[in-house]
Structure 1
Amino acid sequence: MKKIILILIFLNNISVFAQINTALKDTLEKMVVWDQKVAGFQPKYALNDPNREKFRDSVFTAHHDQLQKILSKHGYPGFDLVGKEGSHHFWLLVQHMDNWPDFQQKVLKAMKKQVLRKNASSGNYAYLTDRVRINSGRNQLYGTQVTYNTDSCQAIPKPTEKPESLSKRRKEVGLESIEQYLNLMTELHFKMNKDNYEKRGIKGPKLYVVK
């Protein structure tokens, strides 16, 4: 009996593995490399070219066209289709589609179905929710979109709905506390702009007290 159960589990795992679309997963991974190059967020992907900003629009436009085709064919790519990393990559690419807010909204709607099935990241869903809301002139829900007080080098959430219950909403989707998140963004911002801040006599970021 135990052997039968083990065989069934083994066959089930093979079935799940076989459903992973490796070609699509690889495509998304390659797209993310270029996304990060032109966005300039990851030093390891740095594109050392003075014309990097000129490439950004063309890369994002090409990605928009490709992402539309993927969404139309597969819906939102969940864990079962491209794995957790592949699903994250699709989300990351969509985050940078600010020039196409209607498309971001369409993805958000498709993503919600997968989140409810626990087949996509609820945290990523929160980030995209905030992105869509800010891009459409509404207050965000989870405090993920920030601006910076450059006089002190401190991250500040963009307008947020009912800030008194922000911590509760973040916890519900598996995000860290708002103070931890803002400190992370503050430290990253300081690191990326360290020379400019130090020239102005600011030796380090201003951090929040973590509750």
Structure 2
Amino acid sequence: MEIDEKHRNRLKEIFKEYSFPTRKSVGKDAMNGIFLMIQHADMDKQWQKSQLKNIEKAVQNDDIDSQSYAYLYDRIQINNGQDQLYGTQFSKVDPLNKAVELTPTEDIDNLDKRRMEMGMMPIGMYKEFVFKSL
């Protein structure tokens, strides 16, 4: 975890000095890496939440895909004790029984509609994908 904090602090310095990068300036792989660092910054929830607007802007500028926004939004919601919106996070993954359970999700009846709007597969297909990877 210490290395994660070191890398996150360096990323903060870069953002402060140069602002949030674009795909044109750093490339697709670097943008994905930056997203993953933000997505997994659960030890720094305030900073993680502060980056949601940058990710939203990056989606609008086609620097990162909309699914990334959905994953980060849900993670932040869960980290703040609220229901997720896009069904990206699971509270239980049981490899032995190949079972997964979604973390509480807002308006579950319209979940697939929201997922489709973000370019994501329906939740049933996503669960099957997770099953196959167990």
TM-score of the pair, normalised by structure 1: 0.58
Please say if 1:153 is aligned against 2:98. Answer: yes
Please say if 1:67 is aligned against 2:32. Answer: no
Picking from 74, 91, 94, the partner of 2:38 is 94
Q: Aligned pair in 2 of structure 1 residues 79, 147: CA closer, same or farther (>3 Å)?
A: same
Q: Aligned pair in 2 of structure 1 residues 149, 82: CA closer, same or farther (>3 Å)?
A: closer
Please say if 1:110 is aligned against 2:54. Answer: yes
Q: Could you tell me how far apart the structure 2 residues matched to 1:159 and 1:186 are? A: 19
Please say if 1:83 is aligned against 2:31. Answer: no
Following superposition of structure 1 onto structure 2, how do residues 4-153 of structure 1 map, counting pairs within 5 Å? 57-148=1-92, 150=94, 152-153=97-98
Q: Would the aligned equivalents of 1:122 and 1:173 in 2 still touch at CA under 8 Å? A: yes
Greater shift, 179-188 or 149-158, is seen at: 149-158
Q: Return structure 1 stretches of 4+ with deviation > 3 angstroms.
A: none
**CA deviation string 1:95-129 (max 9, x = no partner):** 11101111111111112122222232211111111
Picking from 106, 130, 134, the partner of 1:185 is 130
Identity value in percent? 32
Deviation at 1:159, TM superposition (A): 0.6
Picking from 157, 162, 170, the partner of 2:115 is 170
Q: Would the aligned equivalents of 2:31 and 2:63 in 1 still touch at CA under 8 Å? A: no
One-letter amino acid of the counterpart of residue 161, structure 1 = E
Q: Aligned pair in 2 of structure 1 residues 58, 121: CA closer, same or farther (>3 Å)?
A: same
Higher relative contact order at CA 8 Å, sep ≥6: structure 1 or structure 2?
A: 2
Q: Aligned pair in 2 of structure 1 residues 73, 174: CA closer, same or farther (>3 Å)?
A: farther
Q: Would the aligned equivalents of 2:87 and 2:102 in 1 still touch at CA under 8 Å? A: yes
Equivalences, count: 133
| Bigger Rg over Cα | 1
Give the unaligned 5+ runs of structure 2: none
Q: Would the aligned equivalents of 1:141 and 1:166 in 2 still touch at CA under 8 Å? A: yes
Please state whether the residue corresponding to 1:179 is helix, strand or coil.
helix
Q: Could you tell me how far apart the structure 1 residues matched to 2:114 and 2:76 are? A: 17
